[in-house]
Structure 1
Amino acid sequence: MLATSYALIGENVDIVTSSKILAQRDSSNDPKEGYKIFFNLFGLNVNNNCDNACDNSDTGESERKKRYLKNEIIYGETGYFQRDILLTKCFCKNICEKIAHTLIVDEVDNMFIDNANKMLHLSHNIVDMRYLRDLFLQIWVCVNNKIEQYYNDENVDKIRDYILKMIENNDIKVPLTLNEYIKFKCMD
């Protein structure tokens, strides 16, 4: 009911479940266990971000993107939402362009007590990131100097332009595999 209320006032709703199976079941049109028929009564669309079509290595990203755009309510397990948000925010994939305004956590006790070991760890190595050390150091130097140390739009623009010029002049070396990522992050 809560998801329906928020969706009816125009907010997108993500519902985090404790398992992939529950997300698929709850977003289905199964008359005994699914909620799709209920949501459809209110003119709302519902789907999930974790079934086989979403996990397909060739078409999964485009399928998930389509679902986020066409559905007001998305069911999924924590890791699947994390995946899509990280791919959108950090890797410019634009999978979930419409990030939900409302997040409902279903079965909190199961997720945070019984399954506390299900976490997404961001500490794995991304090989090329070690090459960004010089870039990060230069940004640190810029934001800690006496002139640009105060946060405002003018200083942010000056630092961004300076860093991009240093990259362009090869004063800071950046791996080709990260060029698009850096340009995207500079435009945030």
Structure 2
Amino acid sequence: MEEAIAIVKRANIHHCNNIPRITQILSVLIFESLQDTGTLLQIGTGEGKSTTCAMLAAIKALQGNKVDIVTTSSVLAQRDANEKEGFFNILGLSCGSNVEDPFDGQEKICYSKDIVYGPIHEFQFDWLRHEHKKYGTRGDREFGVVIVDEVDSMLIDELDQTARLARSMPGMEHIAPILCGVANAFCAN
């Protein structure tokens, strides 16, 4: 682990001429020591969450995992993907954003990358298109590691902002028997 930290620290210095703070390095070490446990850390505003997320994502991707970084907005997803692209490239990794790659009925290019930034609703819609509509939106990308930036915002503030295929409509219970009859008549012919 020491070597991985040294490598991402050096890449960060080379990319943005900034030495990661001890709190950022300790955060990555805590996540790595408690892997596969669903760990949450509270990192305050101004303590370098974007860099901490990028360092952790790089280590996980270098270990062979695909990494999804969930942000609170499309703007933050694009900003972080653009700002951290050079950092990831130094390490031989690729990154993209699922918001800069609009859906056109087929696989989104971003999902061929090692690291994908995006807001939760884009990940939800892309999964729904991939699994339920069979559009292949995610290509052959398996779920690997997810890093959630601002987990409190996603789980509390935006709880009602979920992607849905459909919701119930008043009165549909009266139409369902008619639709079943039409379907049966159609199948009988």
Equivalents in 1 of 2:114, 2:187: separation in Å?
Answer: 43
Q: Give secondary structure in 2 for the equivalent of 1:68.
A: helix
Tell me if 1:83 matches 2:137.
no
Q: Is the 8 A contact 2:85 2:94 kept in 1?
A: yes
1:2 is the counterpart of 2:56 = yes
Candidates 40, 61, 67, aligned match of 1:13: 67
| In 2, Cα distance between equivalents of 1:122 and 1:73 | 26
Partner Cα distance (1:39, 1:171) in 2: 58
Residue 138 of structure 2 corresponds to 96
Q: Who is 1:54 aligned against?
A: 102
Counterpart of 1:44, as a letter, is L
Distance in 2 (alpha carbons) for counterparts of 1:173 and 1:16: 45
- Runs of 5+ in structure 2 lacking a partner? 1-54
1:139-154 equivalence runs, <5 A: none
Letter in 2 for 1:43: G
Offset of 1:50 from its aligned partner? 0.9
In 2: Cα distance, 1:104 partner to 1:61 partner: 27
* Matched residue type, 2:102: C
Q: Cα distance, 1:92 vs. partner?
A: 1.1
Task: Determine the C-alpha separation between the residues in 2 that align with 1:8 and 1:172.
Answer: 55
The one-letter amino acid of 2:68's match is: D
C-alpha distance in structure 1 between counterparts of 2:116 and 2:187, whole Å: 41
Structure 1 counterpart SS, 2:142: coil
Identity of aligned residues (%): 35
Which residue type is aligned with residue 127 of structure 2? I
Secondary structure in structure 2 of the residue aligned to 1:36: helix
SS in 2 for 1:54: coil
CA RMSD of aligned residues (A): 3.0
Q: Deviations over 1:32-54 (max 9, x none)?
A: xx111111111100000113x41
Q: TM-score, normalised by structure 2?
A: 0.57
Quote how far apart the aligned CAs of 1:7 are. 0.6
Runs of 4 or more above 3 Å deviation: 170-174
Task: Give the Å deviation of 1:65.
Answer: 2.1
TM-score (norm 1): 0.57
Query: SS where residue 50 of structure 1 aligns?
Result: coil
Whole-Å separation in 2 of the counterparts to 1:37 and 1:20: 20
Equivalence for 1:68: 111
Q: What's 2:163 paired with?
A: 120
User: How far apart, CA to CA, are the structure 2 residues paired with 1:173 and 1:46?
Assistant: 48
Residues 54 and 61, structure 1, Cα contact 8 Å, conserved in 2: no
Q: Distance in 2 between matches of 1:87 and 1:120?
A: 11
Kindly state the Cα deviation for residue 172 of structure 1 after the two structures are TM-superposed.
9.1
Map residues 153-164 of structure 1 onto 2, 5 A cutoff: none
Alignment partner, residue 149 of structure 2: 106
The count of residues paired between Structure 1 and Structure 2 equals 125
